[in-house]
Amino acid sequence: KAGVTQTPRYLIKTRGQQVTLSCSPISGHRSVSWYQQTPGQGLQFLFEYFSETQRNKGNFPGRFSGRQFSNSRSEMNVSTLELGDSALYLCASSLVPPDRLGETQYFGPGTRLLVL
Amino acid sequence: ELKVEQNPLFLSMQEGKNYTIYCNYSTTSDRLYWYRQDPGKSLESLFVLLSNGAVKQEGRLMASLDTKARLSTLHITAAVHDLSATYFCAVASTGNQFYFGTGTSLTVIP
């Protein structure tokens, strides 16, 4: 069974631009969560989606948005990029939302974004 | 906001030794997770702990949860080089947001 895939794997953008990252969950998984990992702030929760609905959102500005499609694939968008947005963006999928019976999340390889 | 503290941040240990990583969190939670991350790689789920007193073991790793003390431990028994990685604990809030600890970078020395 294929794992969680994320595209692109690496991305270089300049300040002010916008970016869209994509995540394809494991087949059959309907829950997708996004995380940002930086050396300074560590791992931070961005959003959680289940059946095309955003269930939870972390403490990030409105420049960060996301969505989930009917095939469970998810995208996140960051507009007006800032230098501080440089990070590894991780996507994780699970069969059902993680709060149901302690469902395990499976993480993708991440997209490494560099903002210049 | 829920705070999660891990210690130590860095751990260098000899092969064959035992050690414990601690994870403290600030408010009530009913779920605690442990993950492993190898350099340049993504996160791998190790354990999900759901209730007070829960204990789970996989190979040389054993995790436990004390919800009253808001403490989880990850115990390493007879460390081997393959266990070198960064270990994260994460706590889920009632709103199902995940809060991660700072991570413990473990290096096992032959």
Express each pLDDT in A55-107 by its tens digit: 888 889 999 999 999 999 999 999 999 999 999 999 999 887 776 666 788 99
pLDDT at B93: 77
Name which of B42, B97, B103 is nearest A42 (Cβ-Cβ): B103
- Output the CA–CA distances (angstroms, integers) from residue B103 to A43, A116, B4, B6, in the order listed: 9, 27, 10, 6
- The contacts of residue B59 (CB under 8 Å, 6+ apart) are none
Tens of pLDDT, residue by residue over B12-65, are 999 999 999 999 999 888 789 999 999 888 899 999 998 888 899 999 999 999
Q: Which residue of B has its CA nearest to A107?
A: B43
Is the torsion defined by CA of B31, A33, A88, A15 positive or negative?
negative
CB contact under 8 A, B100 and A104: no
Can you tell me whether residue B85 is helix, strand or coil? strand
**Which residues of chain B from 58 to 97 reach within 8 Å of chain A, CB to CB?**
88, 90, 92, 95-97
Select from B23, B38, B17 the least CA-distant residue to A107. Answer: B38
CB A109 to CB B50 under 8 A?
no
Q: Does the beta-carbon distance from B31 to A99 stay under 8 Å?
A: yes
Q: What pLDDT score was predicted for residue A107? A: 93
> Is the distance from CB of B33 to CB of B49 less than 8 angstroms?
yes
Quick check: B29 and B68 in contact, CB under 8 A? no
Residue-wise pLDDT tens digits, B64-94:
999 999 999 999 999 999 999 999 999 987 6
Q: In A, which residues are within 8 Å of B95 by CB distance? A: 56
Do the chains contact at B42 and A58, CB–CB below 8 Å? no
Contact list, B41 vs chain A (CB under 8 Å): 109
Inter-chain residue contact A107 with B42, CB threshold 8 Å:
yes
- Measured distance CA(A79)–CA(A39) in Å, rounded: 22
Percent of chain A residues past pLDDT 90, beyond the cut: 81
Averaged pLDDT score across all residues of chain A: 93
pLDDT of residue B25: 94
Scan for tokens 């209730």, then name that residue: B51
Q: How many CB atoms lie within 10 A of CB B24?
A: 16
- The predicted pLDDT at position B97 comes to 78
